[in-house]
Amino acid sequence: MVALLDSAVAAPSLVIPAFGRVKVIHGPNDEIFSNLVGISVAAVRHLLAEPFNIPADAVAFVNGERVGSLYRLQANETLEFVRPWGRKGGEEKLASFRPGDAVLTKRIKKRCKEIGFAVREEKQWNGFGYEIVAYHAPQSIYDEEVARRIAEKEEAEREQEKKQAEAERKRRDALLEKFPKLRREVIESLSNLRLYLPTEVGYQLGVGTRSYWEQLGFRVSGDPSGWLVRGSRLYPVYRSSGLIEKRRTRTVEQVWQEWCERHGSEAIVLAEAIRLANRLQKVNRRAEFYPLKDEWIRRNQNRLLEGRIARLEERVCWDCNGDGESRWGEECFKCGGTGVYSSSTLYEHLFEIEGRNYCFHSYQRPRSISNNPGADLAHYGRPFSADELPLPPQSLLVDMVEFGLSRKSVD
């Protein structure tokens, strides 16, 4: 191949190439040449028409931008010949779609590869590297695969709804059999709401009664999402998505002083504020809390009893959609062929603060890690005990953590 080009570019009708490399692509064919800088697109098309099977009406793109036949190649550029597909009025018709649905992207790439069409990628600089913001593929293939994907999702949703309805029916029948006094009330007015058992409610699960949420520092808004069955009685329950934080009635300094009198130590007060605020993150996430929590964990590594690994969390590579292979059939350079763009380790930190034990999870690495595995749970956080309630508003607890970290006496 290189010999063919060496003899061709020396012809008097062509410009003598300058030093540099150019990558040429058409369908599954791609190769890097060191003698094409300064050569026109038309000349390259003529030279590689047979080896690369380039049709006469193929459209040329340089670094993703369409160019004419007289364009002369520069060093380190990529020339791609794209077979026209679904052209209308002499212009090729391509669909543009964003990354996100890995299954859809993989299917479109596979179909395009079968017809010799290389899906083009549009990238932007995000401050850390170039990320794919859009793909360009034949409109007809895109439309067919989108319709297929939508049909699959709709069918999966219907099946899921059937399973949920059947499971709810069985749950309801079991509850009515266990509590026959509920039958009339359930049949007459509660047929469209879910019934919950006591083990199915709590802040970890995002469901609770009005009085429960009020004890945790929130007000309830909206209609009930279901009913809690306790003995022979029903209680309306509400989801955490409809909660509103209660208004503050005391200052941070007032609550801090009250807790100091109760616990007898500022170090314990700060640890307790972090422990309670950390649980409420399951109810309403506040972004400013986690940096404060991590700062406390860093400061207290000298009090660490044991550090454990809870789990490894992996992110699928957005450049190859987890395939580990680039569109050229090579190893993806973003993830090294692993299909994993980044991974994070969640650690479990066990502390002893003035005779009391505390356990927190964080991505901060402990100063030492034991061989004992940490708890890898879907829902972290113990139930609130009666002596912990009622709680101050969540924002007040977070402000208490910030206030405590600013005091040298608690380090």
> pLDDT per residue over 130-141, tens digit each?
778 888 888 888
What's the maximum distance between 2 C-alpha atoms anywhere in the chain? 100
pLDDT value of residue 182? 62
Strand order in the sheet with 130-138: 94-97, 130-138, 120-125
pTM of the model: 0.55
**343 vs 224, higher pLDDT:** 224
Across the range 313-335, mean pLDDT stands at 70
Across the range 259-270, mean pLDDT stands at 93
Query: Helices (DSSP H) in 264-364: which residue ranges?
Result: 266-280, 289-299
Architecture of the domain whose range is 1-83 = Roll (3.10)
Domain with CATH 3.10.20.30 in the chain: 1-83
- Cα angle vertex 119, ends 113, 125, to 5°? 145
* CA 243 vs CA 16, 219, 393, 396: distances in Å: 73, 6, 12, 16
**324 vs 154, higher pLDDT:** 154
Distance (Å, whole) CA 118 – CA 99: 16
Distance (Å, whole) CA 246 – CA 244: 6
Q: Is the pLDDT of residue 89 over 60?
A: no
pLDDT value of residue 166? 84
* pLDDT bracket for residue 56 (50, 70, 90): confident
**350 vs 199, higher pLDDT:** 350
* pLDDT bracket for residue 330 (50, 70, 90): low
pLDDT value of residue 359? 93
pLDDT value of residue 165? 80
Is residue 279 within 8 A of residue 270, CB to CB? The reply is no
Q: Is the pLDDT of residue 268 over 90?
A: yes
pLDDT value of residue 258? 94
Q: Is the pLDDT of residue 195 over 90?
A: no
- Comparing CA positions, the residue from 279, 216, 275, 283 lying closest to residue 404 is 275
Across the range 68-77, mean pLDDT stands at 86
SS3 270: helix
Across the range 228-257, mean pLDDT stands at 89
* pLDDT, mean over the chain: 82
* pLDDT bracket for residue 333 (50, 70, 90): low
Q: Is the pLDDT of residue 178 over 50?
A: yes
| Exposed / middle / buried, residue 74 (Cβ in 10 Å: 0-12, 13-18, 19+) | middle
pLDDT value of residue 2? 42
**333 vs 386, higher pLDDT:** 386
pLDDT-wise least confident of 91-105, 258-272, 364-378? 91-105
Side chain identity at 229, as an amino acid letter?
Answer: V
Across the range 105-134, mean pLDDT stands at 81
pLDDT value of residue 185? 57
pLDDT-wise least confident of 223-232, 250-259, 304-313? 223-232
Q: Of the segments 31-40, 109-118, 126-135, 288-297, which one has the largest average pLDDT value?
A: 288-297
**106 vs 333, higher pLDDT:** 106
Q: Report helix angle 394-405 to 289-299, nearest 10.
A: 40
Q: Is the pLDDT of residue 145 over 60?
A: yes
SS3 47: helix
**343 vs 71, higher pLDDT:** 71
At 285-318, the pLDDT tens digits run 898 999 999 999 999 999 999 999 988 887 777 6
Q: Is the pLDDT of residue 10 over 60?
A: no
Distance (Å, whole) CA 68 – CA 85: 18
